[in-house]
Amino acid sequence: MQNYHYRFMPYSQCHFLISPKCQQKVLGQEDLIALAEQEILQCGTSVSVEQFTIERPDPEFFTLLFTFSGTGKVTTQQEEWLLEPGSLLVIPPHIANTIALASEEWQLAWMMLHPTSPLVANILPQIQLLHMPYGELLKNSIDGLVLAQTMPTLAHSKLQPLLVAQMMQVLKASLSEQPIQSRQELRLKQVFEKVEKQLDVNWTVDKMAALAHFSAPHFHRLCKQYYQQSPSQHLIRLRMKHAKRLLSGTDWPIQDIAELVGYPELTNFSARFRKTHHMSPRAFRQQL
- Render pLDDT for 42-89 as a digit per residue (tens, 0 to 9): 888 999 999 999 999 999 999 999 999 999 999 999 999 999 988 999
- Partners of 106 in beta bridges: 48, 70
Alpha helices in 89-215 (DSSP H): 135-150, 152-155, 159-175, 183-196, 205-211
Domain architecture of the chain: domains with CATH: 15-175 (2.60.120.10), 183-286 (1.10.10.60)
Run of H or E including 117: none
Collapse the DSSP code of 180 into the 3-class scheme (helix H, G, I; strand E, B; otherwise coil) and give the result.
Answer: coil
Return the closest-CA partner of residue 264 out of 276, 256, 252.
256
Run of H or E including 128: strand 128-131
Contacts of 115 (CB under 8 A, 6+ apart): 60, 61, 62, 93
How far is the CA of 193 from the CAs of 82, 132, 181, 199, 235, in angstroms? 20, 10, 18, 10, 11
- Render pLDDT for 20-38 as a digit per residue (tens, 0 to 9): 999 988 888 777 777 888 8
CA dist 41 and 117 (Å) reads: 10
pTM of the model: 0.76
- Render pLDDT for 106-141 as a digit per residue (tens, 0 to 9): 999 999 999 999 888 888 889 999 988 777 888 888
